Amino acid sequence: MALPAPQPRSSTRRAAPGEIACAVCQAESRQVTFRAGAPEQAPDLDLRPGEPLRSTMGHWLQQCPRCGYAAPDIRQARPSAARVVAAAPFRSLVNEATHPPLSRRFLAWAHVLEETGAMHEAAEAMLQAAWTADDLNRQDLALLWRLEAGALWRSGPGLDQEQQVRVVDALRRAEAWDGAADAIDAMLAHNPPEAVRQVLALEGRLVGANDPRRHTIASALPPPARRPHAAQQNIMGRGSLFGWLTRWFRRR
């Protein structure tokens, strides 16, 4: 069923018990508030968290049933979000029936972030859309959205090393072998820390073998570091690659 374009309501009355009001169109709906538990397994090289958090993506974003606005908390919206949500590109995105519904939710959030200038956050949401495609064996979509995530990261402000590693992994998993190899060389030219070099070495081997599959951070490190049950603190990954690597190395 196509979602109609939102018509902002003038009323800002309080939401009924158990329901929350969408910050874009003020429609009230019942939404699950997700509280992330710590994953126990190592994250993928692109920092997709390990289980049990890995399997909870259906709860990471709320979506307004009226206007289609999607966000971790739809009670919050950037000032220009209403304009973006009402515009034709967003309407066609949320109504694109050939894309899986959960993927569309992440694409919708990515689009709002991109259109409001939050390029790195948009890249993150786009990568998460690729993860939903992975889970549904839609490799065609996963490949496309990984390339878009990489482009979004590169169109924003300068990237830190963790973000650069995630671009490398997005390119590799999208089978953009030359682009991934170039990105690895560019990072190595800046003499990164040992832990980052180990991850890049694994990425380089995988690129050399034309391997687009998922691998975890634990597999980038020497065998003594491959232990289960380490905690990852940040669901969205910011800062967590180095956190992970530091913790793994400390345990050795």
> What residues make contact with Zn ion under the rule CB under 5 A?
22, 24-25, 27, 64, 66-67, 69
Q: Rounded to the nearest whole angstrom, what is the least distance from the CB of residue 21 to Zn ion in the complex?
A: 8
Q: Rounded to the nearest whole angstrom, what is the least distance from the CB of residue 8 to Zn ion in the complex?
A: 9
The residue behind tokens 């009230």 is 28
Beta carbon nearer to Zn ion, 65 or 193: 65
Is the four-CA dihedral 9, 69, 91, 29 of positive or negative sign?
A: negative
Helix extents (H) in the chain: 81-86, 88-94, 101-115, 119-135, 139-155, 161-173, 177-188, 194-208, 240-251
Q: Are 145 and 127 in contact (CB under 8 A)?
A: yes
Q: Are 233 and 243 in contact (CB under 8 A)?
A: yes
Closest by CA to 65, choosing from 28, 107, 113, is 28
Calpha distance 88→30 (Å, rounded):
26
Q: Rounded to the nearest whole angstrom, what is the least distance from the CB of residue 94 to Zn ion in the complex?
A: 11
Which tokens is 152 given?
């979004």
DSSP-derived pairing of the beta strands 62-63 and 70-71: antiparallel
Q: Rounded to the nearest whole angstrom, what is the least distance from the CB of residue 144 to Zn ion in the complex?
A: 27
Beta carbon nearer to Zn ion, 27 or 218: 27
Beta carbon nearer to Zn ion, 27 or 235: 27
Q: Rounded to the nearest whole angstrom, what is the least distance from the CB of residue 36 to Zn ion in the complex?
A: 24
Backbone angles phi, psi at 191, to 5 degrees: 50, 65
Q: Rounded to the nearest whole angstrom, what is the least distance from the CB of residue 66 to Zn ion in the complex?
A: 5
Beta carbon nearer to Zn ion, 89 or 228: 89
Beta carbon nearer to Zn ion, 77 or 199: 77
Beta carbon nearer to Zn ion, 75 or 251: 75
Angle between the N-to-C axes of helices 119-135 and 101-115, in degrees from 0 to 180, rounded to the nearest 10: 170
Beta carbon nearer to Zn ion, 24 or 230: 24
Q: Rounded to the nearest whole angstrom, what is the least distance from the CB of residue 68 to Zn ion in the complex?
A: 7
Radius of gyration of the chain (CA): 19
If one counts every other C-beta atom within 10 angstroms of the C-beta of residue 199, the result is 26
User: What totals of helices (H) and strands (E) does the chain contain, helices first?
Assistant: 9, 4
